[in-house]
Structure 1
Amino acid sequence: MPLVDVTITQGRSPEQLRALIHRLHAAVVETVDAKPEFVRVIVREVPRTHWATGDVTVEEMLEKKESR
């Protein structure tokens, strides 16, 4: 039973999340010959204030980029 676990920052539309799930599911079915009913996809959304790289949160990165 393949399991795809994706973690992304919050902010995508429901349509974008659904498209992501659909394409991941299709890729697993196609590439590893899994039965569609056995493929699991989990999308975890993390607030932008709770995800940091180099001690800078994604929110801070976006604010800095917008202020340019």
Structure 2
Amino acid sequence: MPTYHVEMLEGRTPEQKKKLVEAITRVSVEILGGQPDSVDVLITDIQPGNWATGGKLWSEPRN
């Protein structure tokens, strides 16, 4: 079964992360088959100063 790598800006609560991994696991099993305990989800929290979009760090003010 798959291993998912989720990278996102830090700030999500443990409850939000729990719901996310439950949903990813459920959909994986529905579509791919297999057992939930064979689905791995790795979450990496990224500080806004280490992520940029459009040439602008997320730690910088946005309009």
TM-score by length of 1: 0.82
Q: How many residues align?
A: 63
Larger Cα Rg: Structure 1 or Structure 2?
Answer: 1
CA shift at 1:58, angstroms? 1.4
Compute the TM-score of the two structures, normalised by the length of structure 2: 0.87
Deviating above 4 A after TM superposition, structure 1's stretches of 4 or more consecutive aligned residues are none
Give the alignment's Cα RMSD to 1 decimal.
1.2
Tell me the equivalent position of 2:24. 24
Unaligned runs of 5+ in 1: none
Q: What pairs up with 1:15-54 in 2 under 5 angstroms?
A: 15-54=15-54
Cα contact 1:2–1:34 (8 A) shared by 2: no
